[in-house]
Structure 1
Amino acid sequence: MSSTTLPLNTPIWLKAISILGIIWYAFGLLQFWLAYSMDTTAAASAGTITTAHAAAIAGTPALVWLTFAVASGAGLLGAAALFIGSGRAKLLFAISAISALVYYIWLYAISGTGADRPSEELPIAVVVVVVTLGFLFLNKRTHP
């Protein structure tokens, strides 16, 4: 058996969880794109977000947006790697977790715009990081 693949008898539950991960991270990429490409002026004018939230989104630096994209993209690739039994999933989930942490630390600890964002975003941030760490530890448990 190669050091980068799981045995051929990978449990069906692991494949099912991997598919859920693929969906989860694809949705993360969609969320990234919707936020990154948002016309914040129009959204604030329409009342779908506050003016302060629009300013917070518009003021997000490109490198911070990149961490969001990397977190979602690496997670998606990690879930696909887990599905096929690749040992590379561990590295991809680690990259995803680190990128997500950098993104959320910037949003809530460095940028000073955390209070300008909807209150439900912080619990979502916690869930995103916990899910990614869960995938990382699941992979470590199933593929040491």
Structure 2
Amino acid sequence: MSHLLGVAIESLVAMLLILTIGYCMVLNSRLKRLKADEHSLKATIAELITATEIAERAIGGLKHTVRDVNEHLGSQLTSAERMSQQLKNQLAEGDNIFRRLSKIAVAARPATDAEPPPVASPPRVSSAKAVAAAAQAFSDRRRPGGLAA
């Protein structure tokens, strides 16, 4: 019986060894697939790094362009505001001169008793004043970042 028990134990060990060899073969095939996936993943990561570097350079170029445009537009808006203020001052001075000339013309007319004295009419807005008001409204729409609305 001891001989039979030894053969049974040896058979059990042989079966376990066969199972272990089978499991090692399965693990080996899985490791090969994992190695292949690792190579493809490395290639994908390299492409992603290249694309990221290209995108970073493009973003840097866009930031530089935006900064240049913003500075240029800001200086143009500042110049437009100065011009608008000059036009407003010149229009005010022109209206003042026009009122004085009107007063001089009215005073220089010969006075007749049949005509009633002229009634002062409300001042009319000249077309130049309307243009100046429109330019001022445009310059007032300047955004805090320096860009017009």
Length-normalised TM-score, structure 2: 0.34
- Structure showing the higher helix proportion among its residues: 2
Length-normalised TM-score, structure 1: 0.35
